[in-house]
Amino acid sequence: MDSLKTKIRDIADFPKPGIVFKDITPLVQDPATLKTCIDALIRPFKDSNITAVAGMEARGFIFGSLAAWELGVGFIPLRKPGKLPYDVQSVDYALEYGNASLEAHIDAVTEGDRILLVDDVLATGGTAKASCELVEKLGGEVVACAFVMELSFLKGREQLTDYSLHSVMTY
């Protein structure tokens, strides 16, 4: 996966001092690399009877939609508050500073759906954990969480011990 890593651009001190932001735009701009990435993202789940992919706003929409397309299933957007037009289920979670919420439409998941959760980065794991809770509140089963990148030094895995995890690239 070293060829993929050459398409991830590190931006120091974005969005705030001390953060090294993993910019995925060079990767998604390059069709061959994007295909390699999506293939690697979904490879373990081709025979897992996934019935839908859920992705977190906003970069999870890019990778999640492509993963859903490749798996031949639908996509469920998990959105920041106030963006979805119909009735929603929501989940609140703690960030380093303050709180955040994610929402999904109440009819986004069919009872018994086998969901693959997709995001670009696993950092501290708070977003992924909240997303799993939201999917479960709606009656879905989280089969696994798949990430393009895992920042292992932030120990997000420790938040997600109840779930199967897959990362294309690890830092």
121: contact with ligand AMP by CB under 6 A: yes
Cα–Cα dist 167/126, whole Å: 16
Cα 42 to its chain centre, rounded Å, is 12
Cβ(133)–Cβ(117) below 8 Å: no
Residues 50-89, mask of contacts with ligand AMP (x by CB under 6 A) = ------x--x------------------------------
Residues 13-32, mask of contacts with ligand AMP (x by CB under 6 A) = ------xxxx----------
Is 133 tagged catalytic? Answer: no
Binning the chain into helix, strand and coil, the percentages to the nearest 5 are 35, 35, 35
Cα–Cα dist 135/130, whole Å: 9
Query: Segment contacting ligand AMP (CB under 6 A): 26-34, 42-50, 81-89, 118-126?
Result: 118-126
Is 59 tagged catalytic? Answer: yes
Q: Give me 71's structure tokens.
A: 């798996």
Which stretches of the chain bind ligand AMP, using CB under 6 A? 19-22, 56, 59, 119-128, 156
* Residues acting as catalytic residues: 59, 96
